[in-house]
Amino acid sequence: MATPDLANRSAIIKTEALRLGFHACGMSKADFLEQESSFLEKWLADGMHGQMHYMARNMDKRTDPRILVPGAKTVISVLLNYLPQKTQVQTDVPKVSKYAYGTDYHTVVKDKLYLLLEFMRAQFGQINGRVFSDSAPVLEKAWAARAGLGWIGKNSNLITTDGSFFFIGEIICDLELEYDAPIEEKCANCRRCIVSCPTKAIESAGVVNGSKCISYFTIELRNTELPDSYKHKFQNWAFGCDICQDVCPYNFRMLPSTEKRFEPLDEMLEMDKNKWEQLDETDFERLFAHTPITRAGLENLKRNIRFVLLKPSDDYNKDA
């Protein structure tokens, strides 16, 4: 059983995390992720990572945070709401995943985590720690689930009773704290995410074949044409995809984010089909330079736009 001192430390950190704008904060013991390691090895062996070759690298660091941060004792996990107040106006235009509407989350989440780490050092003395948010080989969803912030849903996302449109971040450090307990999975018999995926990427509960996912095709697969076999299956998603989250009952009443840096430009939300088709380098830089969309690059985004705006009679490669 944790001593009151450890419990008090944890409570102080959680209170500051909420003050900084995080939705939730939890702690887990920095240890080897045995179950997740076995799952990842099989997932990779089955080729479900497609061309995301980075997923097969740094397996030791990916499954043991003590290698990333020597002497680590704790993984502090946080959630940051990114659900926008407003979404794209037009319904027949190329769609952008909500996580990419505003300022790049790597910057926003890590800025807050650095402030939290500075606060911890001011409170508890010298701490060896590093901050992460989708920027290193860290199994973020696994750590958030271990910290009791939610559970891994059938769409493989972290789901909470408040919704799932959350960014995840971590501080891995050598400060010992009181550890939180995981919570039980609450998806029950719901299969909405599985049956709603137009590319059948969710092959079974909790197992997503990344090489079939619309987000994979529109973000990770670069400098090549998109497969003809997936024509007319993207439901206009040109950067990422929110389908498996949009249909999740836990998101039906999720409250929108209050983080100003995640607010999208009205101009982007109001773009019609013609403006998307005529997107050039100047507009791309002006509209998306601060967002995660830069990861795809202009040429790949234009490829995606052509692909999702295809009519049944069109030859995709004709104008490519």
Active site residues: 134
φ, ψ of residue 237 in degrees (nearest 5): -75, 115
CB 182 within 8 Å of CB 146: yes
φ, ψ of residue 239 in degrees (nearest 5): -150, 105
Distance CA 170, CA 152 (A): 17
Please report, for the chain, how many H helices and E strands are present, in that order: 13, 10
Residue with tokens 């926003």, as numbered in its chain: 108
Q: Give the torsion through C-alpha atoms of 206, 296, 108, 156, to 10 deg.
A: 0
Distance CA 258, CA 83 (A): 9
The strand pairing partners of 159, in sequence order, are 151
**Structure tokens given for 295:** 């990861």
Is residue 259 helix, strand or coil?
Answer: coil
